[in-house]
Amino acid sequence: MTIRVLLADDQALLRDTFRILINSADDLEVVGEASDGAEAVALAGTLRPDVVIMDIRMPGTDGLAATTAICADPGLSDVRILILTTFETDEYVARALRAGASGFLGKDVTADALLDAIRTVADGDALLSPTATKMLVTRFLVTPEPAVDTALPEQLSSLTAREREVMILAARGMSNTDIADALCLSPLTIRTHIQRAMTKLHARDRAQLVVAAYQSGLVQSGPPATP
């Protein structure tokens, strides 16, 4: 099945480059392009893409506002958003993930990494690399944030002990393979635990599960663990 992609970036040259690259893959197709956040929201509603590649800094309605609008629309619950940014310095990434984005990439991403990221996001699987996850939670997600979802701790009670354990390790930046090795289980079993935890916590994808782990207090702030 072809993965349908919407590009949202105010730089036409960058959109052209990404479109050519994405369309060169047999399983990917660019179905629309937006030059600002408002256009991205409108096109997401009409085109219903599988993945939106969203720039954060755009004139008018920026990528953060567009991400919030798309993720808040129940009719677009299957749309995944991949943020493009220089994530080492851009604190808006954390806000985008809290709003419902599925992950992020630096604009200097390699061609293969971009294509793989699109496929991963579309699958709803692990889209944040262990390194990126550690950087994210260390520098952004662990900082105080108003309006934390107080319902999360109550929802955590529905998780089994194993699901909590797997969720904690995922939030620390470990891949399914790393977690499987640590717990002497198969990667398929770990994936099942992750999916069940996502369902119980109403998380759109793994990125939202990471956010929930920190915002609920299941994982405490501090130096990330080394797998």
What the chain holds in terms of domains, given with CATH numbers, is: 3-123 (3.40.50.2300), 152-215 (1.10.10.10)
Tokens linked to 35: 């030059």
Tokens linked to 219: 């994982």
Q: What is the dihedral of CA 79, 119, 40, 147, to 10 degrees?
A: 60
**CA–CA gap between residue 139 and residue 161 (Å, rounded):** 28
pLDDT of residue 227: 42
pTM of the model: 0.74
What digits encode the pLDDT tens for the residues 40-55? 999 999 999 999 999 9
Confidence of residue 95 (pLDDT cuts 50, 70, 90): confident
**CA–CA gap between residue 161 and residue 141 (Å, rounded):** 24
Tokens linked to 84: 């493009």
pLDDT of residue 99: 81
Which of 42-56, 127-141, 150-164, 180-194 has the weakest average pLDDT?
127-141
Residue 112 contacts by C-beta under 8 Å, 6 or more apart in sequence?
Answer: none
Residue pair 45/71 in contact (Cβ under 8 Å)? The answer is: no
Instruction: Using the predicted structure, report yes or no on whether residue 221 has a pLDDT greater than 90.
Output: no
Instruction: Using the predicted structure, report yes or no on whether residue 3 has a pLDDT greater than 90.
Output: yes
